[in-house]
């Protein structure tokens, strides 16, 4: 069969969008997982951090539904960089400026935003609900929350915060030496392998304070490994820096990452948080793929249209972000 894909990235966290609204694909659950494993494989002709399936929503309030499959074929409840890509795709498909997207656990508002970087299509997406209840990750410990505390079963030196937004995150504010060490990879592989703390795995982020309202986040993603950026992790990390008095509710935070930069804004109402994640949704190419669903590994690209203009413009932003990180991460 022939499948159309659009490669899109948010902060260099790249995805293949497959539109099940406009195309009558009728995939089974196994098909989606197998397509994710085959198409996301970096040694294949495509390669990506995940697949974003865009489906019709059964809810009257929603314009579309997003399902996120990680590169290993597991399904994630949410994806912050991915939902910006879906926001652009759905807004352009339906010719609207804002929309509501159904995700596994929430209906989320998305909208076209003023470009925060010149000529880079920018979208604002809602990241919520936010929960510190360890059962929501799940994290199996004998206390209800883990907020800037040691988790000695994992590491004796670092302070961690665990939260679900609603996908699970484990976050630690660290220094440059800890960023440069192999610590994050070691911890992340442990909590994403068979273990008794995080039985469903967890996205692990190391965060450094760069300046006033400016932070750096690097994430080892569950189901993928290190990625250029993780949108839900950057949103969750922004909140963690607020809880640690480095930043404030109601103010923009610039979040630098290895794939560029986004901006976050944390809202708080009656003790509940909602985070706005604002950043690029950049189209890389459109392609047509020939694949048999019972043998997904053996696919071929029958047509590919590259969007060079967008890619080149984004690369300039990425270079200036990397320069800033090098200057400030000391
Ligand atoms: N990259 C995403 C998160 C994708 C899902 C994550 N790997 C998980 O399993 O929770 C983002 O931008 O948020």
Q: Tell me what ipTM this predicted complex has.
A: 0.96
pLDDT in tens, 3-56: 999 999 999 999 999 999 999 999 999 999 999 999 999 999 999 999 999 999
Residue 202 belongs to a domain: yes
Q: Is the pLDDT of residue 262 over 90?
A: yes
Q: How far apart are CA 172 and CA 26, in angstroms?
A: 41
**113 φ/ψ angles, rounded to the nearest 5 degrees:** -120, 155
pLDDT in tens, 59-90: 999 999 999 999 999 999 999 999 999 999 99
Task: Please pick, among 8, 79, 85, 91, the residue that the annotation labels catalytic.
Answer: 79
Q: What pLDDT does residue 89 have? A: 98
Is 230 noted as a catalytic residue in this protein?
yes
CA–centroid distance, residue 221 to ligand 1 (Å): 6
Check if 80 has its Cβ closer than 6 Å to any atom of ligand 1: yes
- 248: domain CATH number is 3.10.310.10
Closest CA to 128 of 239, 11, 261: 239
145 and 263 in one domain?
A: yes
How far apart, in Å, are the Cα atoms of 316 and each of 72, 214, 254?
A: 31, 19, 17
* C-alpha triplet 223, 319, 310: angle, nearest 5°: 75
Q: Is the pLDDT of residue 294 over 90?
A: yes
Q: What pLDDT does residue 117 have? A: 80
76 and 28 in one domain?
A: yes
Three-state SS across 256-278? EECCEEEEEEEEEECCEEEEEEE
Can you tell me whether residue 69 is helix, strand or coil? strand
Check if 13 has its Cβ closer than 6 Å to any atom of ligand 1: yes
Length of the chain: 330
Q: Is the pTM of this model over 0.80?
A: yes
Residue 263 belongs to a domain: yes
Q: Is the pLDDT of residue 235 over 90?
A: yes
CA–centroid distance, residue 232 to ligand 1 (Å): 7
Q: How far apart are CA 51 and CA 72, in angstroms?
A: 10
Domain with 8 in it: 2-112+281-325
Read off the pLDDT band of 120 (50, 70, 90).
Answer: very high
Q: What pLDDT does residue 74 have? A: 98
**Tokens at 229, concatenated:** 């950026």
């Amino acid at each position: 069969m022939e499948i159309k894909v659009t490669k899109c990235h948010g902060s260099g966290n790249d995805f293949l969008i497959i539109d099940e609204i406009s195309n009558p694909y009728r995939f089974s659950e196994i098909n989606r997982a197998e397509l994710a494993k085959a198409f996301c494989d970096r040694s294949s002709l495509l390669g990506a951090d995940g697949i974003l399936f865009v489906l019709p929503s059964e809810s009257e309030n929603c314009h579309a539904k997003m399902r996120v499959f990680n590169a290993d074929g597991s399904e994630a409840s949410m994806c912050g960089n991915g939902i910006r890509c879906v926001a652009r795709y759905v807004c352009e498909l339906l010719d609207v400026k804002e929309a509501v997207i159904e995700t596994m656990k929430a209906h989320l508002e998305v909208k076209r935003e003023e470009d925060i970087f010149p000529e880079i299509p920018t979208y604002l997406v809602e990241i919520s609900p936010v929960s510190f209840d360890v059962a929501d990750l799940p994290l199996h410990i004998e206390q209800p929350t883990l907020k800037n505390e040691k988790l000695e079963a994992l590491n004796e030196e670092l302070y961690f915060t665990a939260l679900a937004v609603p996908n699970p995150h484990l976050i630690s504010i660290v220094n440059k030496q800890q960023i440069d060490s192999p610590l994050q990879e070691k911890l992340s592989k442990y909590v994403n392998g068979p273990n008794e703390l995080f039985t469903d795995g967890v996205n692990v982020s190391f965060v450094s304070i760069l300046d006033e309202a400016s932070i750096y986040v690097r994430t080892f993603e569950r189901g993928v490994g290190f990625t250029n950026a993780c949108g839900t992790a950057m949103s969750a990390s922004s909140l963690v820096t607020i809880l640690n008095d480095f930043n404030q509710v109601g103010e923009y935070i610039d979040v630098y990452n290895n794939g560029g930069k986004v901006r976050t804004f944390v809202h708080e109402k009656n003790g509940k948080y909602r985070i706005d994640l604002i950043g690029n949704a950049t189209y890389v190419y459109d392609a047509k793929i020939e694949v048999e669903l019972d043998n997904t590994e053996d696919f071929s690209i029958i047509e590919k249209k590259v969007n060079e203009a967008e890619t080149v413009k984004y690369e300039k932003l990425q270079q200036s972000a990397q320069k800033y990180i090098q200057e400030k991460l000391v």
